[in-house]
């Protein structure tokens, strides 16, 4: 699940209004016409939804089965590998385990906890739009599920990643604040280079962040905690300290397990380093940090 990349399938709209999702050559659902049609139908619902509304998806029993299986398989791994902050947020959010929730239902649970809500997206959202929405406590989420032939794997972020990973994370006031700060940072940035720097720090923190707790390295990143395979692997990867210049410039392959992770000594250090960075970064600071990395 979310094991080998974060590759959104392109979505196009024809002159006649027909919406089509174009799956990659290695996608498990490529040769399944029913799945391809389902993906296009769900994408069209997001595209055609009236402004300010989230479409209701009538999920199939097969889609509910995939959700149940993933919840069942992820739960013991969360107890073993997730930081207690994530676990406490997960218990507060109380996502259903027996059916795929509607995004509006997840929002209704999140808002009393941290003020966050969801917006439906057909696929990839432009970087600045995605981060600007984070600054307004709105998370753009897909609504489709991975192909049933490989229920514990997805080559792209589906609703399981967006909700079980990010939704549980956003139920924590601490993690919600960090995510919002990253979004607000984007509004101060003029250059795309600085925007990319912030997005890469976000990748190595809110997506693939780890932190020490009682002498053990625990995960808090949504990319790790929504991945059945990544949770078994992150403890064996190279763990570096929180170095912003390194985090914002390190090359990474989104189609592989992350071989280098940045480990905070505590959640307080995460706030002091990553949180303060998101709160204060501007184009000049991003440029200086990038230059610092290049000079090493």
**For 157-199, what is each residue's pLDDT tens digit?**
999 999 999 999 999 999 999 999 999 999 999 999 999 999 9
What would the two tokens of residue 154 be? 């997805």
Does pLDDT of 3 surpass 90?
A: no
- Cβ atoms of 205 and 221 within 8 Å: the answer is yes
Which has more confidence, 254 or 18? 18
Catalytic pick among 161, 172, 180, 186: 161
Does pLDDT of 292 surpass 70?
A: yes
Mark whether 166 is an active-site residue: yes
Of 55-59, 149-153, 195-199, 229-233, the one with minimum mean pLDDT is 149-153
Catalytic pick among 180, 207, 227, 230: 207
* pLDDT confidence of residue 154: 85
Adjacent-strand bridge partners of 234 = none
What would the two tokens of residue 89 be? 């947020």
Catalytic pick among 166, 180, 205, 230: 166
What pairing do the DSSP bridges indicate for beta strands 11-13 and 117-120?
Answer: unpaired
Mark whether 207 is an active-site residue: yes
* pLDDT confidence of residue 104: 98
Burial of 274 (0-12, 13-18, 19+ CB in 10 A): buried
Catalytic pick among 9, 107, 141, 226: 226
Does pLDDT of 90 surpass 90?
A: yes
Does pLDDT of 65 surpass 90?
A: yes
Output phi, psi for 291, to 5 deg.
Answer: -65, -40
Mark whether 22 is an active-site residue: no
Share of the chain above pLDDT 90, in %: 91
* pLDDT confidence of residue 255: 72
Q: Closest Cα partner for 274 from 170, 200, 171?
A: 200
Rg (CA), the chain: 18
- Cβ atoms of 16 and 4 within 8 Å: the answer is no
Give 28-44 pLDDT, tens digit per residue. 999 999 999 999 999 99
Tell me the three-class secondary structure of the chain, residue by residue: CCCCCCCCCCEEECCCCCEEECCCCCCCCCCCHHHHHHHHHHHHHHHHCCCCCCCCCCCCHHHHHHHHHHHHHHHHHHHHHECHHHHHHHHHHCCCCCCCCCHHHHHHHHHHHHCCEEEECCCCCCHHHHHHHHHCCEEEECCCCCCCCCCCCCCCCCHHHHHHHHHHHHCCHHHHHHHHHHHHHHHHCCCHHHHHHHHHHHHHHHHCCEEEECCEEEECCHHHHCCCCHHHHHHHCEEECCCHHHHCCCCCCCCCCCCEEEEECCHHHHHHHHHHHHHHCCHHHHHHHHHHHHHC
Tell me the torsion sign for CA atoms 57, 71, 156, 26.
negative
């Amino acid at each position: 699940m979310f094991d080998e990349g974060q590759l959104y399938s392109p979505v196009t709209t024809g002159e006649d209004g027909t919406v089509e999702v174009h799956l990659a050559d290695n996608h498990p659902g490529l040769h399944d016409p029913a799945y391809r049609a389902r993906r296009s139908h769900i994408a069209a619902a997001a595209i055609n939804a009236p402004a300010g509304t989230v479409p209701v998806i009538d999920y199939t029993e097969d889609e509910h089965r995939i959700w149940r299986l993933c919840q069942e398989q992820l739960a013991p791994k969360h107890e073993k590998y997730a930081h207690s902050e994530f676990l406490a947020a997960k218990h507060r959010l109380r996502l259903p385990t027996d059916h795929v929730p509607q995004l509006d239902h997840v929002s209704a649970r999140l808002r009393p906890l941290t003020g966050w809500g969801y917006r439906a997206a057909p696929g990839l959202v432009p970087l600045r739009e995605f981060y600007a929405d984070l600054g307004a406590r709105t998370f753009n989420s897909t609504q489709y599920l991975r192909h049933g032939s490989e229920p514990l794997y997805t080559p792209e972020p589906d609703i399981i990643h967006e909700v079980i990973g990010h939704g549980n994370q956003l139920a924590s006031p601490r993690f919600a604040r960090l995510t919002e700060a990253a979004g607000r940072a984007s509004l101060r940035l003029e250059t795309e280079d600085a925007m990319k720097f912030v997005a890469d720090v976000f990748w190595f923190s809110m997506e693939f962040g780890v932190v020490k707790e009682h002498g053990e390295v625990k995960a808090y990143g949504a990319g790790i905690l929504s991945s059945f395979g990544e949770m078994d692997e992150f403890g064996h990867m190279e763990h570096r300290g929180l170095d912003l210049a390194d985090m914002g410039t390190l090359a990474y392959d989104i189609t592989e397990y992350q071989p280098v992770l940045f480990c905070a000594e505590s959640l307080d250090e995460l706030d002091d380093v990553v949180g303060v960075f998101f709160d204060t970064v501007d184009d000049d600071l991003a440029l200086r940090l990038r230059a610092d990395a290049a000079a090493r």
